[in-house]
């Protein structure tokens, strides 16, 4: 019988408990597929006595996760504590320093320290795997780093935060305002009491940073991602987008251009009939375009006990099989720091204004857009019963810097009654 792979599990929250369940319930299947038994040797968490719904009696216990990482009876550390620094990073460094493989679900840590951790893991000859850090149960990291490794990736797009997608699609379906749907998401456990990490786009942008590094052979650059959340998306925008044949999604896009890496996470209008337009609820979706493979669409549950545990155990099985590859698809020393492409390629935009209902007002707005070199594709005034008229404009392709200058000029007009809204249209 081959020697077992012995795991030290740091973190026993929802995901950690899910890993324990999966390894217990499917022990025989996992051993058969891994070619050797996979066993938990020891665990670590903040509270030893909390009931987590799983039997931990057969495992060693460490109050300190760093001590867990250094145990002699641990071959691989699974880190599911979270946090970009503190105990999580200390545990990761201790594991690698002790020659232990590391499997983590910690997108925040990798988005900030991924390059350094990859270099350390490769120097130590150990695996660093993080499928669970991006898109839950969807095997997108493996797809990029292994299955599509022969392709030049031309574009990567993703809906990577289930909370945001739940809020936007509930607003669509129930004709409900943002604040009301957010409150419902918090009651159901889809959103935290402080939801800013999710609705502000930070969580999804961290995931995009990891995927972009693999897709384009660059160092992880979370700071290079332009991030905008969904807080300003109104029910009116969702309704008007639907009338124009679009839906609004928090969409991450990354592509390599002549100017460098374009990477952004922002609300976008997408065609209603597209895969992203049809995506509802907490589901995640990633679209990858390669020069030989064409377009690949991956979708599934982006979080939760079962999907995340599934991704972690998949990585553990790969390590048990002896698979040790560069964490970001190619040696970390060869990953270049990408130049930042700024606001990206020109695109069409949806614009919404609240203007005084008076003669000549639309002409003033059109003049400011024209002065910035922005041409109008469609314009219409929404029916209203007040002295303020909502006006919608869809532009032809425009540079964002020029658009921002035009919007600033329009906002200064005495006929403008509210801050203009601009949402990029992403054609798929």
Active-site annotation, residues: 207
CA distances from 100 to 15, 79, 263, 416 (A): 21, 12, 33, 61
62, with CB counted inside 10 A (0-12, 13-18, 19+), is buried
CA distances from 175 to 178, 237, 243 (A): 10, 11, 14
CA torsion through residues 143, 149, 151, 152, sign: positive
**Close Cβ partners of 200 (under 8 Å, ≥ 6 residues apart):** 227, 229, 231
**What torsion, rounded to 10 degrees, do the Cα atoms 6, 10, 12, 16 define?**
-60
DSSP-derived secondary structure for 134-194: SSTT--HHHIIIIITTTSPEEEEEEE--HHHHHHHHHHHHHT--HHHHHHHHHHHTSS-SS
Nearest to 160 by CA among 201, 131, 188, 216: 201
**Close Cβ partners of 171 (under 8 Å, ≥ 6 residues apart):** 177, 178, 181, 233, 235, 238
């Amino acid at each position: 019988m081959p020697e077992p792979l012995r795991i030290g599990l740091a973190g026993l929250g929802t995901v950690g408990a899910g890993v324990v369940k999966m390894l217990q319930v499917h022990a025989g299947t996992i051993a058969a597929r891994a070619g050797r038994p996979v066993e938990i040797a020891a665990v670590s968490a903040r509270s030893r006595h909390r009931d987590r719904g799983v039997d931990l009696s057969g495992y060693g216990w460490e109050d300190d996760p760093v001590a867990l990482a250094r145990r002699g009876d641990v071959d691989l550390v699974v880190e599911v504590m979270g946090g970009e620094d503190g105990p999580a990073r200390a545990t990761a460094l201790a594991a690698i320093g002790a020659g232990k493989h590391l499997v983590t679900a910690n997108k925040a840590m990798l988005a900030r320290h991924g390059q350094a951790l990859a270099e350390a893991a490769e120097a130590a000859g150990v695996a660093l795997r993080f499928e669970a850090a991006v898109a839950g149960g969807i095997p997108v990291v493996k797809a990029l780093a292994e299955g599509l490794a022969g392709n030049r990736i031309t574009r990567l797009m993703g809906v990577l935060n289930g909370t945001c997608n739940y809020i936007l699609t509930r607003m669509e379906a129930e004709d409900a305002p943002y604040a009301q749907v957010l409150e419902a998401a918090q009651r159901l456990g889809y959103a935290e009491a402080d939801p800013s990490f999710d609705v502000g786009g930070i969580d999804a942008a961290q995931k995009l940073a990891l995927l972009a590094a693999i897709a384009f052979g660059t160092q992880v650059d979370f700071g290079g991602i332009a991030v905008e959340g969904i807080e300003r998306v109104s029910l009116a925008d969702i309704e008007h987008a639907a009338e124009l044949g679009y839906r609004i999604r928090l969409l991450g896009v990354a592509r390599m251009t002549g100017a460098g890496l374009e990477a952004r996470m922002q609300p976008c209008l997408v065609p209603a009939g597209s895969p992203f337009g049809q995506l509802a609820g907490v589901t995640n979706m990633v679209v990858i375009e390669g020069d030989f493979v064409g377009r690949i669409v991956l979708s599934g549950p982006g979080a939760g006990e079962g999907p995340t545990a599934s991704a972690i155990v998949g990585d553990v099985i790969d390590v048990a099989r002896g698979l040790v590859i560069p964490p970001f698809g190619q040696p970390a020393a060869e990953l270049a720091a990408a130049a930042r492409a700024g606001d990206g390629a020109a695109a069409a935009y949806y614009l919404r204004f609240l203007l005084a209902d008076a003669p000549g007002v639309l002409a003033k707005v059109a003049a400011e857009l024209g002065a910035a070199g922005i041409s109008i594709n469609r314009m219409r005034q929404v029916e209203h019963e007040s002295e303020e008229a909502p006006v919608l404009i869809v532009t032809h392709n425009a540079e964002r810097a020029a658009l921002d200058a035009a919007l600033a000029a329009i906002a200064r007009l005495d006929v403008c009654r509210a801050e203009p809204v601009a949402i990029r249209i992403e054609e798929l």
